[in-house]
Structure 1
Amino acid sequence: MGSHRNALVAAVRQELAEARGAARAVLAEAETARGEAQERRRLVRDAYSMCLHQLAEARDAARRDVERRFQFESSRLAGNVRHLAALNATGAAGLPWRMWAPSEPEPGTRPGLLRIGTLTLDDTAAVPALVPFLDAAHLVFSGPADDADAVITGLLLRALGTTRPGDMQLTVYDPEHLGGTLASFAPLGISFVGPGGLGAALDELVEHICRVNETVLAGEHQSLADLTAATTTGPRAEPWRVIVLLADAASAQELTSAQRAQLDRIARTGVSCGVHLVVRGLELPEHASVRRLRVSDQTATCDLTGDLEIRLDPPPPADRVTAFCRATAERLRAGPPPARLSDLEPREFWAESSAHGLVAPIGDSTDGTLIDVPLGDDPPHALIGGPSGSGKTNLLYAWLAALSTRYGPEELALYLLDFKEGVSFARFVPGPRDPGWLPQVRLAGINVNGDREFGLAMLRHLGEELRTRAQAAKRVDASKLAELRAEDPTGHWPRIVAVIDEFQVLLSGRDAVADEAVTLLEDLARRGRSQGIHLILASQDVSGIEALWGRSGLIGQFTLRIALPKARRILADDNLAAAVIPRHHAVVNTQSGTSGANQIVRLPDAGDRLVWRSLQRRLWRDRPDGCEEPRLFDGDAVPKLPETCRPAGPVPTAETPVGSSPGAVLGERIDVAARPARLRLGRMPGRNLAVLGTRTDEACDVLAAAALSLAAQGPAHFSIVCLDTDAARAAARLIAELPSADWCTALPPLSDGSVPHYVIGYALDAATDPMMRTLLDDGPEQRMHVLGWWRSVARLRDSLGGPGARLDPIGAWVALDVQGADLAPLYPQPGGPAWYPRTRRALFFDRSVHRTPEVIVPYEVNSDHA
């Protein structure tokens, strides 16, 4: 029993122990589970906390990015607004008062906006606050009178400072202070309307608007602004009329219904006619042209900017307003300033047609209106006169600028010749510093006071052009250029303007050059008008031009006369206008200088090289394809032998073909095309050349040019005979460059004629060889020619046999410093040619070609000064 009880107790204890173990295991598992749950909660809390932190950082980063983007966009917006403000309120319209200065507008530009303060976009960005006014709006102010009046003062000063003196007329109605509010503007001569004069002032403005609509706009333009933009030259057709109404409460209530109606009419129609209201204390009707500003304690709001607050600029100092108005009044009394060169430019370059003539301004009148000068069928030609220093060159520059900006190279061709000792026309052609040129220029001659032959060559060229045009017009039955261009639209028929400054040099003296020049001028003047060729002759004084005596038919064609101060005999004898005009003025007369047809013109300063260079560069960049570089003849320049006249490539052989009459180049002809002067050396008697004179360098250059050009044309042999030590160096240079040459101490014998053989002789007057006459007489038939230098005609005669010797073997000669009378033995007419030697010029005569000699310019080749 006891054992059974003990066993039972042990079993119970065993079960209890097992239960306790199981409970402890459960508790351990629960504790583990609780720990794991706590760990999970901790991890969740940590993750959540991290998410919250990252979210906060992301939110902060996003906020910072938005702020940066906003600041960037705000800054960019502010920059754009400031840029637009700078474009629309330039100069005096938008500068702060500390930097303010008046600035006149360019002709034809519309008025911009006017600054009244600054507009704050955020804490850091501020831009100018601008309002429209002239040609745009009426302005209505409300708020304290003193604050509004300060803004009005600044607006008026800016408006006056951005317009030309006299372009804005100011009327003030100030019944409370009787004009004292804007008294600082009194020096301008503004109109003050008394308390009882408002009705009459409004009636006058309505009548003014009616007159502008009827007689000025006349249905062709919508507004004075459009008219001004369309006519870029001259002053405004009508000045702006600005009426400032500074009304108090009492005067506002005293407006009658009729006055209110007139005020409303002005508000509706005034802006298009240049009438603007600036109102404080009155109401204007709702209209697109009415802008309203509410002013309060240095700030304002405007219906254009909504709720954005404008921080107003302080009013301009009263002494600055007064000083500006006094200076402007002085300018008004002195009249408008003369036009600038840029004022002569049209709105659009090269937009005009020259079919019916040329019209361009050369300056303006005293009221600022540009004066146009015509060239066409009537008047066809111009005569300009004025003493030295009176401004002829400046006048020509202004005229050429106006013509070349209106008419392109297809419409206008310019030939410019200056007989003064200067380079007035050099700026129009390519130079060492500027490769550009004026596209209309075809030819320019400078430093030609000693080369009247070039003036004659230009007249001959124009004469040929006249004949070409006359023949073309005859083929299509046209009587003038406009008809020829209409019948032949594919032809190239620009109007030609030939300018000859100091033309009396060309006509001075009683010689063949003057006689032919007068004949050509008379033909061009008489027939050129119908074919679009126009002459502009300028001179200091025509009283001494002997060649024009008895040529009334020539002077009569020059119906356009332009007289500079103190000019003589340009206008009619009873027309004394040129004697009384001041400097920088001219008298333009299209009726041959008769009294009563004068126009007084103020000339711009057209001589500024930088201004001209800028204009010319712009025209040159826009030149059409195929526009050729102009020909420049500089009387002081020495031309170089062209490379085409020098031997190049392999040495010619006997099989190389050569013409029957090779041409020896002797120098440059004084003509429009700058062609070389050539001597044909065929198998005829006398085909030899004598260079005559004592100028060693030039004689050597002539011989070298002849030899090199002959060597460039085919196989030839040269024998160089040098009998003068001063010429030895030049002779050695020539031998070094010739492909086949011998140095000879005596004249060579006659050759067999298989290839041309040229004897180049230096100082042949020192030769005593009996072969001289044989070579000269029989050499050309054997293709052997002598090209020699003799220091005088007498020595040449001695070389040929003495005083009685015939000079027939010398068929051509080039005279350097030899007087014309000394050339009589070589000249077919008695007395010799009219030749007065001058440096770097030679007289060339080939009896088989020339009737009279021609002047040439020896090339610079291998002389010691090269």
Structure 2
Amino acid sequence: MRSRVSVLAAARQDVAAARGLVRAAQAEADEARIETRRRYDLIRAAHDACLVALTDARETARDEIFDRFHHEAAARAATLGRLASACAPGPAGAAWPAWRPSPAGRTGLLRIGTITVDEDGPAVPALVPLLGNAHLEITGVPSTADGLISGLLLRALGSLHPGDLRLWVYDPDRLGGSLAGFAPLAPAGILTSVGPGGLTAMLDELVEQVRRINETVLAGRYATLAGIPGRRPEPWRVAVLLGDAQDLGPAQRAQLDRLVRTGVACGVHLIARDIPLGAHPDVERLRLDGREATCDTAGVLPVRLDPPPPAEQVSAVCRDLADALTAGPPPARLEDVLPREIWRECSATALTAPLGVGPDGLPIEVSLGDDPPHALIGGPSGSGKTNLIYAWLGALTSRYSPAELALYLLDFKEGVSFARFAPSPRDPSWLPHVRLAGVNVNDDREFGLALLRHLSAELQRRARAAKRCEAGKLAELRAEDPDGEWPRIVAVIDEFQVLLGGRDAVSSEAASLLEDLARRGRSQGIHLVLASQDVTGIEALWGRPGLVAQFTLRIALPKARRILAETNLAADVIPRHHAVINPDSGAPDANRIARLPDAGDRRTWRTLQERLWRARPATLAPPRLFDGDAVPVFTPDPGDHGPRAALGERIDVEARPAWVAMDRAPGRNLAVIGTRGEEAVAILTSAALSLAATPGARFSVACPDPAVAALLGPLRAALPSASFHVGDTVPTLFAQVAADLSGPHYLLGLALDARSQSSGGTRRSPIPSPDDPLRTILEQGPERRVHVLGWWRSVSRLRDDLGGLAARYDPIGAWVALDVHGADLAPLSPVPGGPAWFPRPRRALCFDRSTDRVPQVIIPYAAAGR
């Protein structure tokens, strides 16, 4: 029993111990759960913190990536914008609000709208190729397509120089109304509108242009017209076809296919709306959908089309272009024909210099030598002959020194075109090469004849020197005589037809001299440059085909007539500031078109002239300037040459005085005839001033007519010690002189014919008596050194004072005629019927029986004190 109790107690103790262990284990488990929970909470908190940190990190990273993306997108857009500006500069790519025409002479791609590369990024210009690159095929709503085409054409026109783009428009539905804003270009010749029946002719013409350019311009040397260096030799050509493919026939389709294949290389382009151009690499396709479009260049990116340009802007630009084309392209610069260094060329074989620039921008040179030897310049009034001559002279004188080139310049226009080459009060410089310049000589054909005589004498001198040296041409003469002065001579005669226009001795002799100089001058380095508005009607050239044939270098300005060959019409189509240069007598195949520089600007020319003038040799004398409007002033000659009277200036190259010797020979008296009293007194005054140098000379002045006594002022100033007799004292003077013929004594008379007139102007005695004192002095005085220098107002009155109708004119050894016609001078002249003389202001006809074969024209000197 006890054992059972013990066992039970022991069991109970074991159970109690087990329960304690269980409770301890539960307590440990509870603590473990609590610790696990705490740790889980810590982990959860850490996890949550990590999630927050990761979320923040993700957000931050996303923002950085987003910023970086947008930065790169903006950079790409800016790059694309710069590329677009480079590919479509200025008016080719500017938006319409800021668009202005700016003819840079080139165009690349053309803007049609914008492309958005990124949804939130900036837009960049959308460009398509055209000139020099592609044809355009456009499909879509016609009104939208026409606005697109209008913008393309305006951008192309605004990017090029006027005339560098020619347009054809085929619009069978609206007959040109779709592009009406371009209509002002039609009168200027750069827009051709074609109706329904004109498509075939238009395509044929464009195909012919492609053929011509391939054969004559590209000529196997260049692959494309755009690849030719320098200025384009041909304009761009664009044909706009606004139609339907069903409108084309088989022949038209074939021509269109030819243009698609070959046009781009030759600068001929097509813009076709709703007309397929076929599959070809040169075709750029644009597909319009509302205000958006896709094109081959942009790929899948949609293009937001620009609005069409304002109609008034299109019209204004086209009007300005038409006006510019009508006015012609601007001239070249004078610097384009000048060398970098002056006077580096030798003229032994020829004179060569550029006259302008060609279509390619390169200088076009002309030569004067053995072939061609002479030049003929033609062009109507205002076409630029004077400017052309200036440019040519500038190019020549800057290349050849005065020892290599001598110039003789003559202008028969009423102007002073060549006066700038001589010194003046405004400008003391002169062109060193000029030996003579004649201006305002339209009434002095005698001066042109004097120039030709001077050149003929120079030709003879050179021919004699060449004969001595056994030289056949100037280059050989210069080689044999290197110390001689043998420059090439260029004589420029503007409006030369004035010189040859009369039927008289002047024209006949001038034509003969011109022909001789033209025929023989080439070998001796004498070259003629004749300029004229027209050679029609130059009677002196009739029957002289050999003269014009010598002028093989022909230069025709716009609208020139009869300068080139009859079949050569190039001068009819060239614009202003251009010339046709033809070295083969005007044959069409020898044409070269030159754009001339603007050499007429006085400031530009003065800069060049002063540069040449400073470089001139110190011993070089200024040129002789003959001005037909100037009145020469007498300068006494201190030389010992015996008594002689200066009457005026000869019309010749040397500007020599016209002298009359007052020696002891019979008839050494002078008669001035005419009614121009002031000029008569001026002639007597210069004669008296020159005779005043005679030792012991005495002067008496007689004026029978008190009405002209007011003209005595110049004589009183020139001869303060002379005795003056007016009116009733004149007979006494004549009687005293006739009674005592002792010299040297010079009797100057004004209106001597008034001696035999009453106060009413009627003759008192038709014929003076044989013992008239004046007749005695005239007949007997010269042998005793008493000479009469008198003024009679007509030949008939002089005749009466000499003895009437049967009188001999032997006592008058020299005479000067003012306003007296040639026929009236027949009794005094060696020319049967009288000289061919028509009175002119400030000119006189002079004849000295002892020295002259025929009368000569002189310019009376200005009266002393005037």
TM-superposed CA distance for 1:556, in Å, is 1.0
The within-5 A match list for 1:551-630 is 551-630=544-623
Counterpart pick for 2:436 among 440, 443, 447: 443
Superposition RMSD on alpha carbons, in Å?
4.0
Q: Does the 8 A contact of 1:338 with 1:364 survive in 2? A: no
Equivalences, count: 591
Cα distance, 1:515 vs structure 2:
0.8
Given that residues 170 and 190 in structure 1 are in contact (C-alpha distance below 8 angstroms), is that contact kept between their aligned partners in structure 2? no
SS in 1 for 2:356: strand
Distance 2:506 2:446 in 1: 7
1:124-163 matches, cutoff 5 A:
none
- In 2, the alpha carbon distance for the partners of 1:182 and 1:559 equals 60
Alignment partners' CA distance in 1, 2:606 and 2:124: 46
Give the CA deviation at 1:669. Answer: 0.4
Q: Using the alignment, how far apart are the partners of 1:549 and 1:660 within structure 2?
A: 46
Q: Counterparts of 2:738 and 2:623 in 1: how far apart (Å)?
A: 47
Shift of 1:157: 9.7
SS at match of 1:834: coil
Query: Which amino acid is 1:442 matched to?
Result: R
> Is the CA contact 2:84–2:125 (under 8 Å) kept in the aligned structure 1?
no
Deviation string, structure 1 residues 553-577 (Cα, Å, up to 9, x no partner): 1111100111122222111122222
Change (3 A) 1:170 1:341: farther
Kindly state the Cα deviation for residue 617 of structure 1 after the two structures are TM-superposed. 2.2
Shift of 1:186: 6.5
Give the equivalent residue in structure 1 for 2:14: none
Per-residue deviation at 1:856?
Answer: 0.1
Shift of 1:606: 2.4
2:825 paired residue number: 823
Aligned to 2:697: 716
Q: 1:756: which partner in 2?
A: 744
Tell me the CA shift for residue 153 of structure 1.
7.8
Work out whether 1:691 is the aligned partner of 2:693: no
Structure 2 distance, partners of 1:765, 1:444, is: 42
Q: Secondary structure at the match of 2:401?
A: coil
Contact 1:700 1:862 in 2 (8 A): no
Q: Which residue of 2 aligns with 1:776?
A: 778
For the residue of structure 2 that corresponds to 1:496, the secondary structure is strand
Verify the 8 A CA contact 2:631 2:862 in the aligned structure 1. Answer: yes
Residue of structure 1 in register with 2:859 after alignment:
857
Q: Which residue of 2 aligns with 1:533?
A: 526
> In the alignment, what sits opposite 2:763?
none
Is 2:490 aligned against 1:509? no
- Aligned residue for 1:767, secondary structure, equals helix
Q: 2:840 aligns with which of 838, 841, 848?
A: 838
For structure 1, list consecutive stretches of 5 or more residues without a partner in the other structure.
1-142, 193-214, 217-227, 229-233, 238-317, 648-657
1: CA distance between counterparts of 2:394 and 2:595?
Answer: 16
Write out per-residue CA displacement over residues 44-103 of structure 1, whole angstroms, 9 at most, x where no aligned residue.
Answer: xxxxxxxxxxxxxxxxxxxxxxxxxxxxxxxxxxxxxxxxxxxxxxxxxxxxxxxxxxxx
Kindly provide the amino acid, as one letter, of the partner of residue 750 in structure 2. Answer: Y
Letter in 2 for 1:554: L
Distance 1:356 1:693, change over 3 A: same
Distance 1:159 1:355 in 2: 51
CA contact (8 A) 1:689 1:787 kept: yes
Q: Which moved more, 1:707-716 or 1:535-544?
A: 707-716
C-alpha deviation, 1:732, in angstroms: 4.5
Q: Which amino acid aligns with 1:692?
A: I
The 1:182/1:611 distance shift into structure 2, 3 A limit, reads farther
Q: 1:184 to 1:823 in 2, by over 3 A?
A: farther
CA distance in 1, matches of 2:602, 2:464: 42
Q: Is 2:620 the partner of 1:632?
A: no
1:670 aligns with 2:651: yes
Deviation at 1:726, TM superposition (A): 4.8
Structure-2 separation of matches of 1:187 and 1:603: 34
1:192-591 equivalences in 2 (<5 Å)? 338-591=331-584
Change (3 A) 1:440 1:767: same
1:392-422: CA deviations, max 9, x gaps?
1222122112112222212111111111111
* Partner amino acid, structure 2, of 1:504: Q
- Give the conservation status (yes or no) of the 8 Å contact 2:741–2:777: no
Match of 2:788 in 1: 786
Tell me if structure 2 keeps the 8 A contact 1:750–1:782.
Answer: no
Aligned to 1:11: none
Task: Point out the more displaced range, 362-371 or 749-758.
Answer: 749-758
Deviation per CA, 1:729-761: give whole Å up to 9, x if none: 443442343264222333242486764111111
The verdict on how the C-alpha distance between 1:757 and 1:705 changes in structure 2, with shifts beyond 3 A counting, is: same
CA distance in 2 between counterparts of 1:160 and 1:624 reads 54
- 1:613 Cα deviation (Å)? 2.1
Aligned partner of 1:766 in structure 2 is 754
Could you tell me whether the CA contact under 8 Å between 2:717 and 2:864 is conserved in 1? no
Please give the per-residue CA displacement for 1:280-303, whole angstroms capped at 9, x wherever unaligned.
xxxxxxxxxxxxxxxxxxxxxxxx
* Distance change >3 Å, CA 435–CA 660, structure 1 → 2: closer
Identify if the C-alpha distance between structure 1 residues 169 and 753 changes in structure 2 by more than 3 Å, giving closer, same or farther: farther
Compared CA separation, residues 566 and 672, structure 1 to 2 (3 A): same
Structure 1 residue 177, shift from structure 2 partner = 8.0
Change in 2 beyond 3 A, CA 1:818/1:578: same
Paired residue secondary structure (2:805): coil
**Residues 300-330 of structure 1, C-alpha deviation per residue, up to 9 Å, x if partnerless?**
xxxxxxxxxxxxxxxxxx99xxx9xxx9xx9
Q: Which amino acid aligns with 2:653?
A: V
**What is the rounded CA distance, in whole Å, between the counterparts of 2:429 and 2:739 in structure 1?**
53
Q: How far did 1:480 drift?
A: 1.0
Per the normalisation by structure 2, the TM-score is 0.62
Alignment partners' CA distance in 2, 1:545 and 1:357: 30
Report Cα offsets for 1:237-258 as digits up to 9, x if no partner. Answer: 9xxxxxxxxxxxxxxxxxxxxx
CA spacing shift, 1:481–1:492, aligned 2, 3 Å? same
For the residue of structure 1 that corresponds to 2:352, the secondary structure is strand
Task: Please tell me whether the aligned partners of residues 402 and 432 of structure 2 are also in contact (alpha carbons under 8 angstroms).
Answer: yes
Partners of 1:798 and 1:780 in 2: CA distance: 20
Cα 1:824/1:338, change in 2 over 3 Å: closer
TM-score, with normalisation over the residues of structure 1?
Answer: 0.62
Change (3 A) 1:347 1:168: farther
Q: Which amino acid aligns with 1:662?
A: P
Tell me the distance in 1 between the aligned counterparts of 2:583 and 2:602: 30
Partner of 1:404: helix, strand, or coil?
helix
Equivalent in the alignment of 1:8: none
TM-superposed deviation, 1:686: 0.6
Question: 2-side partners of 1:407 and 1:699: how far apart?
Answer: 47
The AA in structure 2 aligned to 1:564 is L
Shift of 1:353: 1.3
Instruction: Label 1:158 to 1:553 Cα distance change in 2 as closer, same or farther (>3 A).
Output: same
Structure having the higher Rg: 2
Is the CA contact 1:338–1:363 (under 8 Å) kept in the aligned structure 2? no
Deviates more, 1:685-694 or 1:435-444: 435-444
Cα distance change on mapping 1:168 and 1:554 into 2, 3 Å: same
Instruction: State the Cα distance separating 1:523 from its structure 2 match.
Output: 0.9
Q: Hey, what's the Cα distance between the residues in 1 that align with 2:419 and 2:587?
A: 35
The aligned residue for residue 300 of structure 1 is none
